[in-house]
Chains A and B, each alone.
Chain A
Amino acid sequence: MQEVTRDALLNKALELLKNGTVDRVLGYRVGEFSYDVTPAVFENEDALKKDFCWNSFCGANFSKYLISETAKTEKKLLVFLKPCDSYSFNQLLTEHRFDREKVYAVGVPCGGMLSGKDLREKVESVSDVSVNGDKVTVKTLFDGDLEFDFETLLSDRCKNCKSKKHVAYDELLGEDGEVLDSHRFDEVERLEQMTPDERFAFWQGELSRCIRCNACRDVCPACTCEKCVFDNPNSGVQNKAAADSFEEKMFHIIRAFHVAGRCTDCGECSRVCPQHIPLHLLNRKFIKDINSFYGDYQAGAEVGSRAPIVNYTTDDPEPSEAVERGHGNA
């Protein structure tokens, strides 16, 4: 469901290049197939006109790229932000991770994104995909054209979209939406209601599939450390591969802990996990707990906000009560 067309984005990019507002453009490069898109930096008009693409598969969160791209050069970069990207954008600004002056942000409305990975698992030998309103036409090599409802192919994270409203931009294309009542904690609550044995079985089943490829970490806009503790020989926890049975659990707990209060719930971790581990459910647990223990907090909603985990009040709940509350016993 594209609310703004490729041409609108391309024209905006060309205009900003031409009038000197920006020198480079962070966008998507078209691939072999329409669902096969790659983030890329375009340095000139010709490259843009040739390869720039914008479609329902352009779901990656662009904010993280700003750290490395703004550090490379003094030139000003154009970035297109979906509402969820704009939260990460603000969070990174809060943490002084890139120079705002070097970025021109154009907000783009988002009607939800599709997942190429999921599509290929549903449908074999896809040759092309086109979206018309709330219908998706999938061309296949052997089975002809198939038609789907957009909703059915919508990627998992977009089903619980928390906000259609941008929290940061210099300029907005199209209309801005609202912050949504997303029911994003329903799944967390379902787990909380299980018995400890069931929860253990659930997570053992999920996390034991982890192959420590680090894709979740590498895509995460909150995981931007110069050097990750899991790569640092001095941290005492460095490990590339699983050395023993607890390793993955430790990795995922610590990763979730490190992004607690900073995670904007963009869902990139689960999107990229090749093993389909619902990693966002770890982060959402922290978000839900933070909201219920210390009051609602949305990372990235505003620049410079102080995350509850680096704050306190003198009458916070004790850890023991918090655990009780954590699974809905109170």
Chain B
Amino acid sequence: MQVNEYKPLIVAFCCNWCSYAGADLAGNNRLNYPADVKIIRVPCSCRVNPMFILRAFQRGADGVILCGCHPGDCHYTSGNYYTRRRMALLFSMLDYLGIEKERTRVEWVSAAEGAKFAATMNDFVETVAALGENKRLEDLRCKK
């Protein structure tokens, strides 16, 4: 994909059992995606505290994506179900505050879905790049 000068900064939280392994598989298969994506490994998507996401935005991330096992396949049986509720509520709240909803995403990627991982990252980077820099989350206070 071709975006002029601007390079978005993307933080991807990946669960150890499915999505992190899926990302590894994308690597094994040499499936390219932009280097703008930086992965943080967590045991389960349910380990991701909304604070981590807001902190990433606060420190200048342009997009944050959470990847976990498909619903029903969680290594811990129910972790991603909690993730799904928490993130549905959090993302809806961010949207309510007028923050572009495209900057946050949850995607279920299994350990076998290397291709899906790469495709998801390509798509997410493209979407976030099109939005441009994350000003709203960095700059929510009137700077007068």
**Chain A residues engaging chain B, CB cutoff 8 angstroms:** 188, 191-192, 194, 196-205, 207-208, 229, 235-237, 242, 244-250, 253-254, 256-257, 260, 282, 285-286, 289-290, 293-294, 308-314, 316-320, 322-323, 325-327
Contact = CB atoms under 8 A, between A and B. Distances in A.
B63 to A, nearest CB: 14
B141 A192 contact: no
B89 A236 contact: no
Nearest to B50: A257
B86 A202 contact: no
Given A203-B98, A249-B54, 20 more contacts: A196-B100, A200-B98, A200-B136, A246-B140, A249-B141, A250-B54, A253-B97, A257-B89, A257-B90, A309-B85, A309-B89, A319-B84, A319-B87, A319-B92, A319-B105, A322-B89, A322-B91, A323-B92, A326-B95, A326-B96
Contact of A248 (B72, B101, B140): B140
A201 B85 CA distance: 27
Contacts of B106: 318-320
A318 B96 contact: no
Given A208-B142, A246-B141, A202 B89 contact: no
Contacts of A319: 84, 87-88, 91-92, 104-106
Contacts of B51: 229, 235-237, 250, 254
B92 A322 contact: yes
Interface of B: 50-51, 54-55, 57-58, 71-72, 78, 81-82, 84-101, 104-106, 136-143
A245 B78 contact: no
B142 A204 contact: yes
Contacts of A289: 88-89, 92-93
B88 A318 contact: yes
Nearest to A209: B142
B92 A285 contact: yes
B17 to A, nearest CB: 18
B23 to A, nearest CB: 20
B50 A253 contact: yes
Contacts of B57: 246
Contact of A208 (B81, B89, B138, B140): B140
Contacts of B99: 196, 200
B96 A244 contact: no
Contacts of A290: 89
A285 B98 contact: no
Contacts of A244: 58
Given A200-B97, A319-B106, A320-B105, A309 B86 contact: yes
6 contacts: A286-B93, A289-B89, A316-B84, A323-B95, A323-B101, A326-B96
Contacts of B91: 319-320, 322-323
Interface of A is mostly: helix
A272 to B, nearest CB: 21
A260 to B, nearest CB: 6
A314 B141 contact: no
Given A253-B54, A285-B92, A323-B95, A204 B141 contact: yes
A237 B55 contact: yes
B85 A308 contact: yes
A275 B51 CA distance: 25
A124 B95 CA distance: 40
Nearest to A309: B85
From A202, A313, A320, name the one whose CB has the most chain B CB atoms within 10 angstroms: A320
A224 to B, nearest CB: 19
Contact of B97 (A229, A247, A249): A249
A204 B95 contact: no
Given A199-B97, A257-B93, A249 B55 contact: no
From B87, B95, B99, name the one whose CB has the most chain A CB atoms within 10 angstroms: B95
Contacts of A207: 140-141
A239 to B, nearest CB: 11
A327 B88 CA distance: 12
B44 to A, nearest CB: 14
A323 B59 CA distance: 24
Nearest to B106: A319
